[in-house]
Amino acid sequence: MKAAPDSSFPRIVPPTPETLRRAADLLLAGTLVVLPTETVYGLACRPDSPDAIDRLYAAKNRPPRKPITALAPSLDAILPVLPPLPPVARRIADRYWPGPLTLVLPSLVPGRYDGFRVPDHPVALALLRLLPFAPLVTSANLSGQPPALTAAEAAAALPSVPLILDDGPSPGATPSTVLRIASDGTLSLLRPGPISLEALQALA
């Protein structure tokens, strides 16, 4: 039986094998969880649960059509859900993943793009390896407000989230660079971040 929110369980917890397993069980059950990354704290949900996705949008007061990135433990973990990547996408992923780079890649659905990131954070990666899916993860804050850099900031912004993994202040303190790569290899910077467009273009 999958875990459900438990008011007797502490809300803000350090990452341990027990709390990571509980976070994974909550995500499997469709519950929201906050996790640390090397950029900012993230709010995660199950990607194949419309109810969980609705709860994520509602918790953040996020515009309903604004897309959300999926976090994965590796490039290999997402290849089965993508069409063949243009060579530049693999070169960039091999160079900058894990790391503060979101790649927006062509989907198996014609005309659609999906965003993915492999975080460079041991807690995030440990949680992702416990899951059979790549959860949708967005910054753990209210839309339009500064991103949460600590578990306490995430807890204050998102009071409805029952479990927050606390690994101290986010070391990067800046959201990831977001780069779209078209099927023909064209690069488009959607959001500046820690990795510059010039560095990415050098691999084109």
Dist CA 86 CA 77 (whole Å)? 17
pTM above threshold 0.95: no
- Every domain of the chain and the residues it spans: 12-201
pLDDT at 65: 82
SS3 content of the chain, % helix, strand, coil (to 5): 30, 20, 50
In terms of residues, how long is the chain? 204
Helix boundaries (H) for the chain: 17-28, 50-60, 75-78, 87-96, 122-128, 151-157, 197-201
Tell which CATH classification among 3.40.50.720, 3.40.50.300, 3.90.870.10, 1.10.8.50 matches the domain 12-201: 3.90.870.10
Residue 202 Cα to chain centre, angstroms: 26
Dist CA 167 CA 12 (whole Å)? 10
Q: What is the pLDDT along the chain (204 residues), one digit of tens a residue?
A: 345 555 567 999 999 999 999 999 999 999 999 999 999 999 999 999 999 999 999 999 999 888 999 999 999 999 999 999 999 999 999 999 999 999 999 999 999 999 999 999 999 999 999 999 999 999 999 999 999 999 999 999 999 999 999 999 999 888 999 999 999 999 999 999 999 999 999 998
What are the backbone dihedrals phi and psi of residue 9, each rounded to the nearest 5 degrees, phi first?
-90, 135
